[in-house]
């Protein structure tokens, strides 16, 4: 009787355990099991274990895949095992239903089963690639995963250097959203948006390179040509290695591309000030400056200053909306109104008796500090345009400027003291000729990006807001000349005359380029501002 009771209690305990286990399994998944293989087996792709030569494929315990079927999305995890190229995956969440199946590794690669997202930042792993992206299609629970990316192996050797980030820039998008398609049993990625041409590997703590070297592995979609690699150190310096135009370094699906930088290949320099462009321009025999990355903009409702995101950006006719409460942005100002950028709705000469530089203000994307920027004088503009020694561009020595359109915006391109025109980009014509207009040199965004990286500056023909003449106490302003002429204030003050003080400006358009002075009426008009920073 006692044995019978014990047996009965044992059966009840087992039954309860079975019930609990069953409920837990129902709550976490549908019980389906998949078997997955990897492409390549012994070389260069997949979830990775690396040696000096190959990138070997292996599943490891805990790898998770997302599988989509008729019932939706299921999450599956690799069962405990020795790392191998074939693994069994058990359901740990969601319901997949029947095939056909679409499977993704890692599970975070997709949220809808239709589009994959390759991140703009990647995680560093010693001698490995973190969660190398793969994809499989199947009508059964036998999944053959194929690689969506290739591997870029960067070998750095630099003694006594600690780095905080590495950025890879290609000639096309290498992160963002992609559609996956199968052609002859091979997956292809088609870029759909929300990405960029740059992928960055950040390090939470500075990582030593050392004189024995260190390997870094990036998972990247196939692309035609690498443009540059930027390495940033823990003390704020950086090194950008630009690929020569006649050298094609690309990444192909399921292959590994290796690049080696030795210590004598890397020249780390001080970082650019926030908001500054790389080119150096002489404004006298002893002083060089850098231009801001775009024209100055102001938001009255928040009293915020910023630089335009792109050099070709301008506000245009929306400058007519100027008011104390306007939530948009303006980029045309009356002379010397750094202390009151919307001054001039009611105008008297006394409003403009003192020049206040716009650079005294903190610029939100220009370091956000007071007095970090300033406005060029007439004499400095004349030196940039006509007096300094510049580089040779095409057949022209000491090339200073050229009329051009960038991204369909007319304007003036300025070339720095040292400039190497990018190979593959059309050499500008009619350099230093003020009689030519922008129609003779047209550059796309991608072409301009290469010229900008080489140090070129672009002043857009942003137009102006004019004052009806004769001036009255209630001024009537209107924006015109947008994408036709550019007028930029200088800090110069000339002599007083019968109309009052005359002030400096730079004008280009209608086959004219000049610096000069304007009187009282001109002071009341609104022109563009492009700030500079002295190179100490």
Residue 379 has pLDDT above 90, yes or no: yes
Of 84 and 488, which is predicted with more confidence? 488
Average pLDDT for 87-107:
94
Q: How far is CA 195 from CA 172, 174, 176, 189, 227, in A?
A: 10, 7, 4, 13, 17
Judge contact between 418 and 455, C-beta under 8 A: yes
Residues 219 and 117: their CA atoms lie apart, in Å, by 13
pLDDT score for 373: 98
Distance between terminal CA atoms of the chain?
Answer: 98
Judge contact between 291 and 284, C-beta under 8 A: no
Residue 44 has pLDDT above 70, yes or no: no
- Which range has the worst mean pLDDT, 111-120, 292-301, 387-396? 387-396
pLDDT score for 56: 66
Judge contact between 199 and 229, C-beta under 8 A: no
Judge contact between 57 and 47, C-beta under 8 A: yes
pLDDT score for 16: 35
Average pLDDT, the chain: 84
Three-class SS of residue 57? Answer: strand
Residues 149 and 129: their CA atoms lie apart, in Å, by 11
- Which range has the worst mean pLDDT, 153-162, 198-207, 495-504? 495-504
- Which range has the worst mean pLDDT, 174-178, 319-323, 467-471? 467-471
pLDDT score for 86: 87
Q: Scanning the structure block, which residue is given the tokens 């004052």?
A: 467
What confidence tens digit (pLDDT) does each residue in 409-422 have?
A: 999 999 999 898 98
* Percent with pLDDT over 90 in the chain: 55
Burial 83-108 (b: 16+ CB within 10 A, else e): eebebbbebebbbbbeeebbbbbbbe
Indicate the pLDDT class of residue 11, thresholds 50, 70 and 90.
very low
Judge contact between 266 and 280, C-beta under 8 A: no
Three-class SS of residue 391? Answer: coil
Residues 334 and 323: their CA atoms lie apart, in Å, by 14
What confidence tens digit (pLDDT) does each residue in 308-325 have?
A: 999 999 999 999 888 889
Return the DSSP state at 300.
T
What confidence tens digit (pLDDT) does each residue in 261-311 have?
A: 888 788 777 778 899 998 889 999 999 999 999 999 999 999 999 999 999
Residues 66 and 444: their CA atoms lie apart, in Å, by 40
Q: What is the largest CA-CA distance in the chain?
A: 125
Average pLDDT for 75-89:
85
Judge contact between 86 and 36, C-beta under 8 A: yes
Residues 435 and 437: their CA atoms lie apart, in Å, by 7
Residues 84 and 78: their CA atoms lie apart, in Å, by 11
Average pLDDT for 386-394:
88
Residue 342 has pLDDT above 70, yes or no: yes
pLDDT score for 186: 92
524 CA to centre of own chain: 38
The burial class, CB within 10 Å (0-12 / 13-18 / 19+), for 131 is buried
Question: What ranges in 149-215 are assigned the alpha helix state H?
Answer: none
Q: How far is CA 96 from CA 66, 91, 110, 443, in A?
A: 9, 9, 15, 50
pLDDT score for 500: 53
pTM of the predicted protein model: 0.57
Of 254 and 292, which is predicted with more confidence? 292
Where are any strands of DSSP class E within 16-83?
33-38, 48-50, 55-57, 64-69, 72-78
pLDDT score for 495: 67
**Domain ranges, ordered by start, for the chain:** 33-265, 273-536
């Amino acid at each position: 009787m006692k044995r019978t009771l014990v047996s009965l209690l044992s059966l009840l305990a087992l039954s309860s355990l079975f019930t609990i286990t069953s409920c837990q399994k129902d709550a976490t998944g549908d019980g389906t099991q998949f078997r997955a293989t990897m492409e390549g087996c012994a070389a260069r792709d997949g979830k990775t274990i690396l040696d000096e030569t190959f990138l070997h494929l292996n599943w490891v315990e805990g790898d998770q895949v997302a599988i989509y079927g008729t019932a939706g999305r299921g999450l599956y995890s690799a069962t405990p095992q020795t790392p191998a190229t074939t693994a069994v995956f058990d359901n740990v969440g969601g319901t997949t239903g029947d095939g056909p199946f679409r499977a993704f590794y890692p599970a975070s690669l997709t949220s809808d089963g239709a589009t994959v997202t390759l991140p703009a930042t990647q995680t560093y792993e010693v001698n490995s690639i973190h969660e190398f992206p793969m994809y499989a299609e199947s009508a059964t629970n036998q999944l053959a995963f194929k690689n969506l990316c290739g591997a870029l192996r960067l070998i750095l050797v630099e003694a006594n250097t600690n780095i905080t980030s590495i950025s890879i820039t290609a000639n096309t998008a290498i992160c963002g959203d992609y559609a996956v398609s199968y052609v002859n049993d091979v997956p292809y990625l088609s870029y759909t948006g929300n990405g960029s041409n740059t992928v960055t590997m950040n390090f939470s703590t500075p990582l030593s390179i050392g004189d024995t070297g260190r390997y870094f592995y990036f998972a990247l979609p196939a692309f035609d040509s690498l443009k540059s690699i930027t390495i940033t150190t823990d003390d704020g310096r950086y090194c950008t290695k630009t690929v020569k135009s006649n050298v094609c370094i690309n990444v192909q699906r399921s292959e590994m591309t290796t690049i080696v930088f030795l210590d004598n290949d890397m020249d780390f320099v001080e970082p650019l000030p926030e908001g500054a462009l790389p080119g150096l321009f002489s404004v006298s025999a002893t002083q060089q400056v850098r231009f801001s990355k775009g024209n100055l903009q102001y938001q009255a409702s928040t009293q915020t200053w910023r630089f335009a995101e792109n050099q070709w950006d301008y506000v245009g006719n929306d400058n007519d909306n100027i008011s104390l409460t306007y939530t948009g942005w303006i980029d045309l100002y009356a002379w010397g109104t750094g202390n009151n950028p919307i001054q001039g709705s009611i105008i008297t000469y006394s409003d403009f008796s003192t020049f206040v530089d716009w650079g005294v203000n903190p610029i939100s994307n220009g370091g956000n500090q007071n007095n970090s920027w300033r406005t060029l004088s007439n004499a400095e503009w004349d030196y940039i345009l006509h007096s300094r020694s510049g580089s040779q561009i095409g057949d022209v020595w000491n090339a200073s400027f050229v009329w051009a359109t960038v991204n369909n915006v007319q304007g003036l391109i300025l070339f720095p003291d040292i400039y190497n025109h990018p190979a593959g980009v059309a050499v500008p014509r009619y350099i230093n000729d003020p009689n030519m207009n922008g129609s003779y040199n047209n550059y796309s965004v991608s072409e301009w990006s290469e010229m900008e990286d080489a140090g070129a500056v672009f002043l857009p023909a942003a137009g102006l807001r004019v004052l009806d003449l004769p001036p009255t106490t209630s001024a009537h302003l209107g924006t015109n000349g947008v994408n036709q002429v550019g007028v930029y204030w200088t800090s110069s003050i000339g002599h007083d005359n019968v109309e009052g003080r005359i002030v400096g400006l730079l004008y280009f358009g209608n086959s004219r380029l000049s610096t000069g002075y304007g009187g009282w009426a001109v002071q009341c008009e609104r022109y563009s501002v492009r700030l500079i920073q002295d190179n100490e």
